[in-house]
Amino acid sequence: MPSELTSIVTHDDFDGVAGAALLSWGFDISDIRFAGPITIAKAEIPVTLSDIVCDLPYPLECGMWFDHHSGNLDEVRLRNIDPATIPGRFAEAPSCVRVIFDYFSEQGELPADFATLADVSDLIDSFAYPTLDVWRADTPANRIDRAIKCSSPSRFEHADFLRSLAFDLRDLSLDEIADSPLIRQRALAYAETEKRMLEHIQNNRILLPEDTDRELYVVDLTSFIQPVRIDKKLIGLVDPLAKGYVELKPVFRQGRKTNSMAVGLSLALSMQQVEHKKDMGEIVRLLNIGDGHRGAAAGVYEARSALDFQKARTDLPKKILELWKTV
Ligand SMILES: [Mn+2]
């Protein structure tokens, strides 16, 4: 193990915060910073040999790396780095917390609460809920997840919240944490955000006449002049029968709408229970606009002009539907 490990750099989602809780316990480190995958990929924050990087792409260098995203492992190999030489652990697991939990389990006894934490992290990070009701249920873990998704007045305050939550996840049970007024209040606030997302999903649906079985639910947010965020998983509540979700939205640069169109595709939760060959990643690759996995993929269509952008609003969903029918 490298000697001078002094801080943790982790993903700013449930898996990342809970992963930091285990690492903080195991390495006795309380300096925790948060980042998104793109921040790391673009090397926008300094990461050094004294950092443990958790649930994020492998940076230029770091002291230890814990991760479970196969795409990140591919990146490491593309850079001609032998993953076996990187201290820490990579494993294909439903969550990074699971990877870290297994790592520490091999060295000795872990607090009993950590087993529960690994279980709920698996569920949340791989979105493996058996039903929509289980996902919507006000369980301690779901409530904490919503509190994390709730935005804060500033990045600084958000990082502060995540940091103290990581310590709570290290020292307290999920029940105790979920019962705190701050978690309750943030989870409720996020429920309001979700309500607005549901409205956007319903009001901006486009119906494709060719989609006679209504298999794809297409949400077109391209007419908005301000960024609008939706959680595509919420489509499952609006239309439980749809099998695939498509989201179109403009790309904003420096707050201004561009001629680029972001395309997001994901499979419905219900598709986890049936045999199928649908592959959202393949659709995006065939369109030559991006990449992804079977369950979720994303890309950007670079329109040549405002006119081309308008044309793509109708053409892209049609092409996606054609490919959906064949892959
Ligand atoms: Mn993760």
CA 220, CA 94: separation in Å to the nearest integer? 31
Tell me the Ramachandran region of residue 274: left when phi exceeds 0, alpha when psi lies from -120 to 50, beta otherwise: beta
- What DSSP line would sit under 43-61, residue for residue? T-S---TTEEEESS---S-
Query: What is the predicted pLDDT for the residue at 309?
Result: 97
Q: In this structure, which topology does domain 204-326 adopt according to CATH? A: Diaminopimelate Epimerase; Chain A, domain 1 (3.10.310)
CA-to-CA separations, 36 to 2, 40, 65, 73, 205, in angstroms, rounded? 24, 7, 15, 17, 29
Residue 68, classed as helix, strand or coil, is coil
- Find the 225 Cα to ligand 1 centroid distance in Å: 32
- Find the 200 Cα to ligand 1 centroid distance in Å: 27
Query: What is the predicted pLDDT for the residue at 237?
Result: 86
137 — phi, psi (to 5°)?
Answer: -60, 145
Confirm if 34 and 11 have CB atoms less than 8 A apart.
Answer: yes
- Find the 170 Cα to ligand 1 centroid distance in Å: 18
CATH 3.10.310 in the chain is located at 204-326
Query: What is the predicted pLDDT for the residue at 178?
Result: 98
- Find the 206 Cα to ligand 1 centroid distance in Å: 32
Angle at CA of residue 96, ends 91 and 100, nearest 5°: 80
Query: What is the predicted pLDDT for the residue at 3?
Result: 60
Task: From first to last of the 327 residues of the chain, give the pLDDT tens digit.
Answer: 556 899 999 999 999 999 999 999 999 999 999 999 888 888 889 999 999 999 999 998 999 999 998 889 988 999 999 999 999 999 999 999 999 999 999 999 999 999 999 999 999 998 888 877 888 899 999 999 999 999 999 999 999 999 999 999 999 999 999 999 999 999 999 999 988 999 999 999 999 999 999 999 999 999 999 999 999 989 988 899 999 999 999 999 988 999 999 999 999 988 877 899 999 999 999 999 988 888 889 999 999 999 999 999 999 999 999 999 998
- Find the 99 Cα to ligand 1 centroid distance in Å: 10
Q: Which residues pair with 301 in a beta bridge?
A: 261
Residue 212, classed as helix, strand or coil, is coil
Unique residue bearing structure tokens 């060959």: 277
Q: Which residues pair with 265 in a beta bridge?
A: 246, 297
pTM of the model: 0.83
Query: What is the predicted pLDDT for the residue at 27?
Result: 97
- Find the 19 Cα to ligand 1 centroid distance in Å: 9
- Identity of residue 219: V
CA 127, CA 39: separation in Å to the nearest integer? 23
Confirm if 20 and 41 have CB atoms less than 8 A apart.
Answer: no
Alpha helices in 126-180 (DSSP H): 132-136, 140-149, 155-171, 174-178
- Find the 125 Cα to ligand 1 centroid distance in Å: 6
Query: Tokens representing 69?
Result: 């995203």
133 — phi, psi (to 5°)?
Answer: -65, -40
- Find the 95 Cα to ligand 1 centroid distance in Å: 5
Output Rg (C-alpha) for the chain, integer angstroms: 21
- Find the 89 Cα to ligand 1 centroid distance in Å: 14
Query: What is the predicted pLDDT for the residue at 128?
Result: 82
- Identity of residue 271: M
Burial 4-39 (b: 16+ CB within 10 A, else e): ebebbbbbbbbbbbbbbbbbbbbbebeebbbbebeb
